[in-house]
């Protein structure tokens, strides 16, 4: 008998029967991309769902990071975390910006605000934190530092779809936040993403940038890029949005079961819910204490694999250890002890 493989996630798919009429409509309209009917509908629906005024859709979650840096004219050095998916730092590299890595907080796994100030130089222009595993960063302290030094803040909120703090969307923090709607995320459009900003003029600028810089039929305001998402994935996104709340509730139930099962196992710890936070349960990280558990993280990972449970080592290796970045002064092990340990 073939063994069942348990993957780290399974994509949320709309029912095919529900999707067919949308496809039929797209075929009738013959408008496949470039701010079409479903693109506009999805932007509106997402802004409403996420409780933010302005959402710009993108064809993946990496382009909004790159465009946020362009839209805000960020240059020089940007302070960021090594404990994330590589796209966070790659977006800086593609803009010719030097990433400066700051260590993380051992409890939240997010950038440690207490260590940001020491990393600021005259060339620093922005901070790019990540709400790792959807856990909110200390946005208040980060904003205080940003205000004090005149820095912009761009949050990589790829994990934080639907996350709220005291009833308020986490996406309202900072100057901008980016989302990823990749198939592995809690809400997906297969590939997709979005950039959230707080004023209409900025939304306009972002929309120019994601469409080659076109501000009219013959006017180009900047060397923009092609970041547009098509009608088919926009329609798919509208359908998935209707079931994302149910998916988050189901994930919560799974998290409760995992916590019950893992409670009391010496050497294994996990994250508890934070009071006042609406979590999206998109990840269930566990932490392995080798001495207490009697096995290393990797030994456990490969043991689980033998039993067809395919975990992932998030985030290993650290971004600062990849060849492109490891030469940087801030990438040294001594600068990032917590991130290395976690
Ligand atoms: C998924 C992810 C991205 C990139 O998203 P894509 O849609 O795959 O381009 C960026 N940052 C983080 C933290 C992610 O997890």
pLDDT tens by residue, 152-166 = 999 999 999 999 999
Distance 68 CA to ligand 1 centre (A): 14
The pLDDT of residue 52 = 98
User: Do the bridges between strand 176-180 and strand 152-156 make them parallel or antiparallel, or are there none, so unpaired?
Assistant: parallel
The pLDDT of residue 3 = 78
Section 61-66 average pLDDT: 98
Dist. CA 211–CA 229, nearest whole Å:
10
How confident is the model over 5-55, as pLDDT tens digits?
999 889 999 999 999 999 999 999 999 999 999 999 999 999 999 999 999
Residue of minimum CA distance from atom 2 in ligand 1:
158
Predicted TM-score (pTM) of this structure: 0.97
Contact 82, 328 (CB under 8 A): no
Q: Is 154 in the pocket of ligand 1 (CB under 6 A)?
A: no
Question: Around Cβ 321, how many Cβ atoms within 10 Å?
Answer: 15
Phi, psi for residue 284 in degrees, rounded to 5: -130, 80
Q: Is 89 in the pocket of ligand 1 (CB under 6 A)?
A: no
Three-state DSSP state, 196: strand
How confident is the model over 183-204, as pLDDT tens digits?
999 999 999 999 999 999 999 9
Distance 87 CA to ligand 1 centre (A): 6
Contact 54, 179 (CB under 8 A): no
How confident is the model over 236-271, as pLDDT tens digits?
999 999 999 999 999 999 999 999 999 999 999 999
Catalogue all structural domains in the chain, each as residue range(s) with its CATH number. Answer: 16-239+317-341 (3.40.640.10)
pLDDT at 2 over 90: no
Burial group, residue 257, by CB count within 10 angstroms (0-12, 13-18, 19+) = exposed
How confident is the model over 40-49, as pLDDT tens digits?
999 999 999 9
Q: In the β-sheet with 164-165, what is the strand arrangement from edge to edge?
A: 168-169, 164-165, 277-278
How confident is the model over 86-140, as pLDDT tens digits?
999 999 999 999 999 999 999 999 999 999 999 999 999 999 999 999 999 999 9
Burial group, residue 20, by CB count within 10 angstroms (0-12, 13-18, 19+) = exposed
Dist. CA 95–CA 156, nearest whole Å:
16
Residue of minimum CA distance from atom 10 in ligand 1:
87
Contact 149, 78 (CB under 8 A): no
Dist. CA 85–CA 283, nearest whole Å:
14
62 token code pair: 């990496």
Please state, in angstroms and as integers, the Cα–Cα distance from residue 214 to each residue in 106, 210, 241, 271, 288, following that order. 44, 9, 29, 45, 51
Q: What is the DSSP letter of 184?
A: T
Q: Is 61 in the pocket of ligand 1 (CB under 6 A)?
A: yes
Three-state DSSP state, 324: coil
The pLDDT of residue 303 = 97
How confident is the model over 72-94, as pLDDT tens digits?
999 999 999 999 999 999 999 99
Contact 73, 223 (CB under 8 A): no
**Which helix (H) or strand (E) element contains residue 108?**
none
**Candidates 65, 88, 160, 227: which one to mutate for ligand 1, based on the most atoms within 8 Å of Cβ?**
88
The pLDDT of residue 1 = 55
Dist. CA 303–CA 104, nearest whole Å:
28
User: Do the bridges between strand 77-80 and strand 124-128 make them parallel or antiparallel, or are there none, so unpaired?
Assistant: parallel
Alpha helices in the chain (DSSP H): 16-29, 37-50, 63-71, 87-94, 139-149, 200-209, 231-262, 290-293, 297-306, 337-341
**Candidates 8, 9, 62, 69: which one to mutate for ligand 1, based on the most atoms within 8 Å of Cβ?**
62
- Percent of the chain with pLDDT strictly greater than 70: 99
Contact 163, 279 (CB under 8 A): yes
Contact 240, 188 (CB under 8 A): yes
Q: Is 129 in the pocket of ligand 1 (CB under 6 A)?
A: no
User: Do the bridges between strand 124-128 and strand 152-156 make them parallel or antiparallel, or are there none, so unpaired?
Assistant: parallel
270 token code pair: 């996990």
161 token code pair: 């779809």
């Amino acid at each position: 008998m073939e063994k069942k493989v348990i993957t780290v996630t399974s994509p949320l798919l709309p029912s095919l029967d529900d999707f067919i009429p949308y496809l039929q409509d797209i075929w009738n309209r013959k408008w496949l991309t470039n701010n079409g009917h479903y693109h506009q509908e999805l932007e509106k629906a997402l802004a409403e769902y996420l409780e933010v005024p302005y959402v710009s859709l993108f064809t993946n979650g990496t382009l909004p990071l790159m465009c946020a840096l362009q839209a805000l004219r960020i240059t020089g050095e940007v302070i960021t975390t090594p404990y994330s998916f590589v796209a966070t730092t790659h977006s800086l590299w593609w803009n010719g910006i030097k990433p400066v890595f700051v260590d993380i907080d051992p409890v939240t796994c997010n950038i440690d605000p207490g260590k940001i100030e020491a990393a600021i130089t005259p060339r620093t222009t922005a901070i790019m934190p990540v709400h790792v595993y959807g856990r909110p960063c200390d946005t208040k302290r980060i904003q205080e530092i940003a205000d004090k030094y005149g820095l912009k803040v761009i949050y990589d909120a790829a994990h934080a779809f639907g996350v709220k703090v005291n009833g308020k969307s986490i996406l309202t923090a900072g100057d901008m936040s980016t989302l990823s709607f990749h198939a592995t995320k809690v809400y997906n459009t297969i590939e997709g993403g979005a950039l959230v900003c707080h004023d209409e003029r900025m939304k306009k600028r972002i929309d120019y940038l994601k469409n080659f810089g076109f501000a009219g039929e013959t006017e180009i305001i900047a060397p923009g890029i092609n970041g547009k998402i098509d009608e088919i994935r926009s329609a798919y996104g509208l359908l998935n949005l209707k079931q994302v709340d149910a998916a988050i509730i189901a994930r919560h139930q799974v998290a409760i079961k995992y916590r019950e099962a893992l409670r009391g196992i010496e050497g294994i710890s996990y994250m508890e819910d934070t009071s006042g936070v609406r979590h999206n349960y998109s990840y269930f990280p566990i932490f392995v204490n080798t001495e207490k558990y009697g096995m290393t993280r990797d030994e456990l990972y490969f043991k689980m694999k033998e039993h067809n449970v395919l975990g992932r080592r998030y985030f290993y290796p650290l971004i600062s250890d990849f060849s492109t970045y490891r030469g940087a002064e801030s990438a040294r092990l001594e600068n990032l002890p917590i991130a290395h340990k976690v």
